[in-house]
Structure 1
Amino acid sequence: MRLPSRVVRFVLASASPARRAVLGAAGIDPIVRVSGVDEDAVTAALGDASPTDLVVALAEAKAEAVLGAVAAEFPDSVVVACDSMLLMDFGDGPEVVGKPGTAEVARERWKHMAGGSGDLLTGHAVALFRDGELVARAKGSASTTVRFADITDDELEAYLATQEPLAVAGGFTLDGLGGWFVEGVDGDPSSVIGISLPLTRKLLAQVGVGVVTLWRD
């Protein structure tokens, strides 16, 4: 597919400041439109979906939630939606988890995560509008292995007290306070933060948008 000649606006279907920061550092100032999707409801409806299918489906649901408004407001635009979850063995076999929500859940997860590793899965969905018409879609996923440090009880309680891990996928960040407790990543670090730049570039290309055309002047 050839690149569009007219200006295309980049719309991020996410309230995540981390995703906005990644894009900003990479030359894109996204227009933010929050989806408000009930992630638990989408997950329950999918039943026994594979972890990869789950994160992609969640990203698609977030994109779908904003398409109508975006088409009217930005008729020439590309919508990008993302979802991330951590796949790790928490003692009863591999399990995919999202945001802990409470300190109790985050504490229990970190007791298994510390000193181990897990796969941060991220799903992306992209939709292209031309003259307000949806003309192309693309979707995909990425996986990055995260190696967690051993963490003391005092460190864990201090981290939980910040409330940072409660509202992020897997209960940790790479670009925030949680970065102190990550030994390293094997794969794409931007994916761990929330939006994979390599995957987004590939999906944009699939719908005919060159990422360099989206960079700020």
Structure 2
Amino acid sequence: MRVVLASASPARLATLRSAGLDPEVVVSGVDEDQMTTHDPANLAAALAQLKCRAVDARLQDADALVIGCDSVLAFEGEILGKPADAREAVARWRRMRGSSGVLHTGHCVRRGNREFVEAAATVVHFAEVTDHEIDAYVATGEPLQVAGAFTIDGLGGAFVRGIEGDHHTVVGISLPLLRDLVGDLGVRWTDLWV
């Protein structure tokens, strides 16, 4: 079966490959700023759906399984996506250190005219990082590329002191949830293994 990941995220691709899938990557090109809501789970799910539908429409392949995802961090009543620049990333990290936020990852799977959408959430506890550590981390550029300005599977992993929930959600694609959604489409997870 043709599996298509509607995401440019190297972490999502690596996670799927580690789980035995070998998806084709097609970037959606969706303008994420077109969606506005005060509910982070709904926002993540809606963006995942937009990306999935945009790629599916371009493929014109009813047999393809298209997977769309998007992540946002809910922190102190705000929804945080990717920081606009290094200055914003530094300011964000100075607020987040020693605190906790909730990372929401929306998932949309589509095959033919059937589609399922759901979001997963994981609580992330940030370490008490120093100003020097924040400056050094932001200087790497890594936090500028990801929702919430941190990774758990890269350099930022040392600055996360714990999570409550599925760590895959924090990486950007929950394998347990994805398995359930693919199952809802009538596809066995193990049939996706290469």
Mark yes or no: TM-score above 0.5: yes
Counterpart of 2:155 in structure 1 is 177
**1:71 aligned residue (60, 74, 77):** 60
For 2:35, which of 19, 36, 42 is the aligned residue?
42
Deviation string 1:119-159 (CA, Å, 9 cap, x unpaired) is: 0001001101xxxxx23110101000011001111111100
- What is the CA-CA distance between 1:49 and the residue it aligns to? 4.6
Q: How many residues align?
A: 194
Partner residue, 2:129: 151
Contact 1:42 1:58 in 2 (8 A): yes
Pair 1:207-2:185 in alignment: yes
1:107 matched to which residue of 2?
90
Write the letter of the residue equivalent to 2:57: G
CA contact (8 A) 2:94 2:131 kept: no
Distance in 1 between residues matched to 2:14 and 2:95, nearest whole Å: 29
Q: Is the 8 A contact 2:103 2:122 kept in 1?
A: yes
Which residue number corresponds to residue 81 of structure 1? Answer: 68
**1:151-187 CA-partner distances (Å, limit 9, x unpaired):** 1111111001101101100000000000010101110
Structure 1 residue identity aligned to 2:116 = A
Are residue 24 (structure 1) and residue 17 (structure 2) matched?
Answer: yes
The alignment-based identity, stated in percent, is 51
Which position in structure 2 is the counterpart of 1:116?
99
User: Quick one: which amino acid aligns to residue 139 of structure 1?
Assistant: V
Q: Which residue number in structure 2 is paired with residue 126 of structure 1?
A: 109
Deviation at 1:51, TM superposition (A): 1.5
Deviation at 1:53, TM superposition (A): 1.1
2: CA distance, partners of 1:176 / 1:162: 11
Deviation at 1:65, TM superposition (A): 1.0
The reply on whether 1:62 has 2:51 as its aligned counterpart is yes
1:188 matched to 2:166: yes
Tell me the SS of whatever aligns to 2:72: strand
The letter of the residue matching 1:21 is A
Residue by residue, what CA displacement relative to the aligned partner does 1:30-79 show, whole Å, maximum 9, x if unpaired?
11110011101233xxxx4522111111001101111122224xx42110
Instruction: Give the secondary structure class of the aligned counterpart of 1:29.
Output: coil
Structure 1 residue runs of 5 or longer lacking an equivalent are 1-7, 129-133
The TM-score normalised by the length of structure 2 is 0.97
Check conservation: 2:125, 2:163, Cα contact below 8 A. yes
Q: How far, CA to CA, are the matches of 1:65 and 1:42 in structure 2?
A: 14
Match of 1:95 in 2: 78
Mind listing any 5+ residue stretches in structure 2 that lack a counterpart? none
> Aligned with 1:66: secondary structure?
helix
